[in-house]
Amino acid sequence: MPTYILIGMLAIKKRPRRAAITPRNPRRTRERLLRAAFQEVYKSGFRGTDLETILATARVTKGALYHHFASKEDLGYAVVDEVILGITRDKWLQPLKNIENPIDALVAVLQSRSTEQEELQCGCPLNNLAQEMSPLDERFRVKLAKVFSAWHKGISAALRQGQKLGLVRSDVDSDETATFLIAAFEGCMSLAKNSQDVLVLRSVKKGMIRYLESLRAGGGRSRASGPG
């Protein structure tokens, strides 16, 4: 009988050891950190966000953070390279690939842009960081410039393709037009963020669409653009 009790007790003690083994997923941890950092920086700015807030949002330890990123700055650089560039690709560059008409595509991009409260309240994450960090940190400035450059190249290339197809006026300078469109959009976001008025976003969106319509070869107009 004593032997039986002892064996039973040993068997009970062994079970928690097997259950305590939890596999780690470094990739998911890194993704949570990036998402949390982007979210907090978008709301409060890079300098206004502390690591403790990011860790609490991501629900990871400080050790996990430093396993993936050497510093808060390195985390910020990764946010630009992976999150903000990814947003720019999804919202602006992918819709311009393999298209029949670049004007229709650009109009569709603008029409699809949300005028929701978060965008009105927080503005454009790319422009926010560029305004805040470009004068202070050269690595931030260079990385943000690469995002702007990719955005610019995507629009410019689409317009040149439209000229080859006879859909965009031949006298349009694609590089200058791309610069103007980006500047107009970012200016619109800054004005709307300051005014906290959704009508500013809607008004500038309509103006940009009218401008895009003026770039059509032969003064054509797409049915999808509506009356303007």
Same domain assignment for residues 96 and 58:
no
Q: Does residue 11 sit within a domain?
A: no
Which carries the bigger pLDDT value, residue 221 or residue 193? 193
> In the chain, what percentage of residues exceed pLDDT 90?
68
Same domain assignment for residues 157 and 48:
no
Q: 206: domain range?
A: 76-221
What integer is the mean pLDDT of 69-86?
A: 97
| CATH number of the domain to which 31 belongs | 1.10.10.60
Counting the structural domains of the chain, the total is 2
**pLDDT beyond 50 at 97:** yes
| CA-closest candidate to residue 106, choices 3, 34, 208, 24 | 208
What integer is the mean pLDDT of 61-68?
A: 93
Same domain assignment for residues 47 and 84:
no
Q: Does residue 7 sit within a domain?
A: no
Q: Does residue 91 sit within a domain?
A: yes
d(Cα 39, Cα 115) in Å, to the nearest integer?
18
pLDDT of residue 204: 86
d(Cα 93, Cα 155) in Å, to the nearest integer?
8
Question: Residue 120 — very low, low, confident or very high, per pLDDT cuts 50/70/90?
Answer: confident
Q: Which of these three, 16, 39, 69, is where a domain ends? A: 69
pLDDT tens, 11-30?
434 443 433 333 468 889 99
Same domain assignment for residues 101 and 171:
yes
Instruction: For the full predicted model, state whether its pTM sits above 0.75.
Output: yes
Which carries the bigger pLDDT value, residue 196 or residue 103? 103
pLDDT of residue 82: 97
**pLDDT beyond 60 at 117:** yes
State the Cα angle at 193 between 190 and 211, rounded to 5°: 50
Same domain assignment for residues 189 and 82:
yes
Same domain assignment for residues 97 and 56:
no
